[in-house]
């Protein structure tokens, strides 16, 4: 009886660790806290952070495909504007939607010029 309990517990832990490994954590910048000081760009060894123009404003963004998750941006941000979140289907879709809207606005602005 004891042995089967141990086997079940180990199997449960294995399943949990597989789920944890599938979670993808990403670094993101909270634009409401960011003051555009640029210190995170200077600190990033992977050149994963860039300042881009959005709705006529400059915002800082992290490219998760370049980020090596070293944490130096968080250490160097004095304003607590960088956090680690779990990347989910929902926030991937939300980001894509925002990017598409921005692209549409930029195209309109360029056509108007």
From the list 2-10, 17-25, 70-78, 97-105, the region that binds ligand SF4 by CB under 6 A is 70-78
Containing H/E element for 9? helix 2-22
Displacement of CA 28 from its chain's centroid (Å): 4
Binders of ligand SF4 among 25-64, rule CB under 6 A?
27, 29, 34-40, 43-44, 46, 48-49, 60, 62
Q: DSSP character for 60?
A: E
| Neighbour count for residue 52 (Cβ, 10 Å) | 10
73 binds ligand SF4 (CB under 6 A): yes
Rank residues 3 and 23 by Cβ distance to ligand SF4 and give the closer one.
23
Contact 36, 60 (CB under 8 A): yes
Unique residue bearing structure tokens 């709705």: 55
Residues lying near ligand SF4 in the complex (CB under 6 A): 27, 29, 34-40, 43-44, 46, 48-49, 60, 62, 67-73, 76-77, 79, 81-82
């Amino acid at each position: 009886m004891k042995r089967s309990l141990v086997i079940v517990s180990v199997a449960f832990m294995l399943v949990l660790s597989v789920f944890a490994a599938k979670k993808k954590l990403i670094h993101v910048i909270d634009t409401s806290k960011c003051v555009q000081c640029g210190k995170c760009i200077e600190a990033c060894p992977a050149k994963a952070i860039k300042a881009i123009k959005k709705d006529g404003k400059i915002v800082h963004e992290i490219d998760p495909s370049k980020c090596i998750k070293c944490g130096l941006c968080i250490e160097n941000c004095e304003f607590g504007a960088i956090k680690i979140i779990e990347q989910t289907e929902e926030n991937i879709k939300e980001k894509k939607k925002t990017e598409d809207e921005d692209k549409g606005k930029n195209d309109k602005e360029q056509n108007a010029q």
